[in-house]
Amino acid sequence: MKIHARLVAFWCPRPARWSSLLAWLCLVLALGGCAPHFVADYDAAAESEMLTYARNVDRFWAVLLDTDPAARSYAAFKESYNGIEADLRILVLRCEIRPRNAETLRQAKLILELWQGDKAHHKEKNGVSDFLAMRHRKQFYQAFAAMAKGEKAKDMNAGDTTEGTP
């Protein structure tokens, strides 16, 4: 009989317990919608810009690789280097002005530093080997892919296919 009385007391609490349980339930429901926001919101324009710059960089390396190694002087590619560097600087600036965007900013700065290093090396040596060009092309592909995947991950609705369906 004592066990039954305890179960009844547990499942049918006194009014003071109800108010306490109700207060906890309200607190949990209220805080459930308050999640901290640590990363920037998804920006489709930023993602598109990243992919455009990635295409320009990849095209640069493709053209360089299609050029005879003897004709790969820095002067022949100077304009392309400067144009792409200007685009990458704008990408860094865009990342700097977006709040909570530290990881993408770090990646954009890394890509800019890699580009400037490749430009300085080409200027110093006045040429680029096939091996270095292929390695640098792959390196930029990986860096831009990581940055684009990071931006895509910010899109909380990317996997939601229920939108617009009844």
Whether 76 and 123 have beta carbons less than 8 Å apart is answered as: no
Q: Span 42-61, mean pLDDT?
A: 91
Of the candidates 70, 164, 76, the one whose C-alpha atom is nearest the C-alpha of residue 123 is 76
Q: Please write down the long-range contacts of 74-82, taking CB distance under 8 Å and 24 or more positions apart.
A: 74/122, 74/123, 74/126, 74/127, 77/122, 81/115, 81/119, 81/122
Q: What is the mean pLDDT of the chain?
A: 82
Of the candidates 69, 116, 68, the one whose C-alpha atom is nearest the C-alpha of residue 89 is 116
CA 154 to chain centre: 7
Cα distance between residue 53 and residue 50, in whole Å = 5
Question: In angstroms, how far is the first alpha carbon of the chain from the final one?
Answer: 53
pLDDT of residue 135: 97
Of the candidates 141, 144, 128, the one whose C-alpha atom is nearest the C-alpha of residue 78 is 128
Q: What are the extents of the domains in the chain? A: 2-32, 44-153
Q: Span 3-8, mean pLDDT?
A: 54
Q: Span 111-138, mean pLDDT?
A: 97
Write the pLDDT tens digit of every residue in 56-104: 999 999 999 999 999 999 999 999 999 999 999 999 999 899 888 888 8
Instruction: Tell which wins on pLDDT, 131 or 34.
Output: 131
CA distances from 142 to 1, 57, 139, 145, 152 (A): 71, 12, 5, 5, 15
CATH topology of domain 44-153: Methane Monooxygenase Hydroxylase; Chain G, domain 1 (1.20.58)
Write the pLDDT tens digit of every residue in 104-124: 899 999 999 999 999 999 999
